[in-house]
A and B are shown apart, each in its own frame.
Chain A
Amino acid sequence: MRERDDEWTGLMRSAIAGDSAAYHRLLKAVTPVLRAAARRGLARAGQPVDQSEDIVQDILLAVHLKRHTWDVSAPFAPWLFAIARNKLIDALRRRGRRIFVDIDDFAETLPGETPAETASPSEVAAQLQTLPARQRDVLQAIAVDSASIRDTAAKFSMSEGAVRVALHRGLTSLMAKLRER
């Protein structure tokens, strides 16, 4: 557990320093832990666990857009679990349950307890359709067609800077839409 936390902290430091590959690895590494906790939270609230992926994506978006609030000299896991807990409580509340979510739900995930992704998540995809055309096109090119920033720029005759801006704005409005829903 300690080793895992140290590894995450190291990856996040590299990510903040500009290493996108490290960031990708970090997000991949935390996702099964978040998924397991989301499923446990849903199960305890008597909700179908196949909704867990929406919660996981909501958490990942918040982690991404709020990562500047992480203090690089602090361990990463407590910060991550605080965001995850907040989003999980919100999600369960929205589904009509008030429930106590224990921080240990996240911290105590056993290695090997890594359920695979279930069902096709729909909320992010649905909200994606409501974005302004440019943001939607850019997000779709990068997310769905796995295009690089450069390819996307060429495809839509935009500068790479404009693609980056549209990408970031798109992610920001996605999170706002998920929050207001």
Chain B
Amino acid sequence: MDTDRLIRTLAADNAHRARPVGFALMLALLAAAPVSLLMFFTELGVRPDVMVAMRNPFFDLKFAVTLALAIAAIAVSLHLSRPEASLRGFGWLLLAPVGILAAAIGGEMMMPQRLPMMTRMVGKNSSTCLVAIPLMSLPLLAGALLGLRHGAPSRPAVAGAIAGLLSAGLAATLYASHCTDDSPLFVAAWYSIATALVTAIGALAGAKLLKY
């Protein structure tokens, strides 16, 4: 086929309108969310003392951190779905959850604590945390990658890594309502390891799936 013919064919298809990437991402995440929710409610569930826990600011701060991560990653991944976009100027958004976490650690340091620092950091649920967050992330990661395939990222592995952050942020939001370790030190240690794992999986999968 010569190029003139191809051009004519493409022009004939001009009426076709693709959905914006943000819409495709939202649909895919909504489709994936029930799977993660099912995993959460069958295996973990919300902690029984949640009503009391909500009065503890460090319990609430866990959600501020995980939701800030999810929202920042959604914004960055939509930005990166444009071929001419790079992380420059947008990557700093991903520092928002880190900043909130650092402030929370600082706040906790200034308060009198019953338990020593190491005990708070090691916590009681680290192994559950390391398994549950990555597992609940996987359906969301699959959904995010599927949605982002509508985009055209110039660096598919980077875009995949951000999709990993996004799904880890959402999964960690669920997990935070189950976990009884509320110290920001615990979050900084274990949530981060779980998130890094999902990010690596996202980068590997994205390198394949997000190439256009």
Which residues does A use to contact B, with CB under 8 Å? Answer: 15, 18-21, 23-24, 27-28, 31, 53, 56-57, 60-62, 64-71, 78-79, 81-83, 86, 90, 117, 120-121, 124-125, 128, 139, 142-144, 146, 148-149, 164, 167-168, 171, 175, 179
Contact = CB atoms under 8 A, between A and B. Distances in A.
Interface SS, A side: helix
A78 B81 CA distance: 15
B20 A68 contact: yes
Interface centre among A21, A56, A65, A69 (most CB of B within 10 A): A69
B83 A164 contact: no
Contacts of A64: 10, 13
Contacts, number: 115
A15 B4 CA distance: 18
A27 B10 contact: yes
Interface residues of B, number: 31
B82 interface: yes
Interface stretch (B44-52, B60-68, B99-107, B148-156): B148-156
Interface SS, B side: loop
Contacts of B82: 69-71, 79
A143 B1 contact: yes
Contacts of A66: 83, 151-152, 212
A22 to B, nearest CB: 9
28 contacts: A18-B15, A19-B14, A31-B7, A56-B3, A60-B7, A61-B6, A66-B151, A67-B18, A68-B21, A71-B82, A79-B82, A81-B84, A83-B152, A86-B154, A86-B212, A117-B2, A117-B3, A121-B3, A124-B1, A124-B6, A125-B1, A146-B5, A146-B8, A148-B12, A164-B13, A167-B16, A171-B10, A179-B212
A144 B19 contact: no
B2 A23 contact: no
A-B interface, 9 closest residue pairs, ranked by CB to CB distance from nearest: A82-B84, A24-B11, A82-B83, A68-B18, A66-B152, A20-B14, A143-B9, A27-B7, A64-B10
